[in-house]
Structure 1
């Protein structure tokens, strides 16, 4: 029997980009943003200096040094027992991130085969049974079943199944195979 497939986003789902972006933004601007203070805001409203954000996201080692989301490693390993797992990142917007993301995955998710890593532009072409992402712009075009991973910018979105953390992702997906 063929396993069902899952596309898993990197930034904001596997990697805690919020924490690192907040730290870099605060250091550069002198502001004191926190995860709590930006909850419910769009990315544009939370980080108003968009030129600075692009500079930060294009800086060497930004993506390579992102912290791993709690329980992500163990959860993805567990999901591989019942699903074919693909890591899918819209990385081409920030070309410097391509090699960094591959190296990051090699360090933290070495059990993901190279052929199951997709670095792309638009995710509209991804055709998996499930997609786990923090952005509606990706989930709204999902060909399978979308699962929204909670992030500061999507807490007010209610039109997708939501998972607040990796334990909830595993619970949602395990319901589909039992």
Structure 2
């Protein structure tokens, strides 16, 4: 029998998919505002937006998630990670059930090398049995049994409890050297 590979679970939004860019673009257009990622230092868009929590309604549009940009280097690094680790995409899609189809289609388009059996739509990510979880939300690490690795985003800049990566080159340095 072969050696068991360690598992890395990877979040989708703000880790491989540039959700923030699309949210800012749509918010600024609809509300005639000029918020940039720099305005979000330690905050989420809903904390600074004129409409507050209503920005979450963007996710009610099933097409909103379909044309997100892929974060730079994520595809190449994840492909390389697969040679040494078992890779899972773990999205807390239960927060927005209308997003399932769009998230799945986006993943199949941009990450076709991730098998369906390695795509997990869940709520509480502590259910994921992995050695590492790369996520932009530190609260996902609270009950996760493995090592949480924080992927930098404007809303988490003040979080200091977990190892941090700023981009996919940092991920490669951490796992592939």
Q: TM-score range by the shorter chain?
A: over 0.9
Task: Encode CA deviations 1:22-58: one digit per residue, 9 max, x unaligned.
Answer: 1111112111001122222244423352442121111
SS in 2 for 1:96: helix
Residue of structure 2 aligned with 1:59, choices 61, 73, 94: 61
* Contact 1:134 1:151 (8 Å CA) reproduced: yes
Query: Gapped runs of 5+ residues in structure 2?
Result: none
Q: Please, which moves more after superposition, 29-38 or 66-75?
A: 29-38
- Please report the TM-score for the alignment, with normalisation by the length of structure 2: 0.94
Residue 119 of structure 1, CA deviation? 0.5
Structure 1 segments of 4+ aligned residues over 4 angstroms from their partners = none
Aligned-residue CA RMSD (Å):
1.3
- 1:122 corresponds to which residue? 124
Residue of 79, 83, 100 corresponding to 1:98: 100
**SS of 1:6's equivalent?**
strand
**Post-superposition offset of 1:7:** 0.5
Q: Does the alignment pair 1:174 with 2:147?
A: no
The question of whether the paired residues in 1 share the 8 Å contact of 2:7 and 2:130 is answered with: yes
User: Partner of 2:127: helix, strand, or coil?
Assistant: coil
Rounded to whole Å, the distance in 1 between the matches of 2:164 and 2:89 is: 19
* Matched residue, 2:47: 45
1-structure distance, mates of 2:168, 2:45: 22
- How many residue pairs align between the two structures? 175
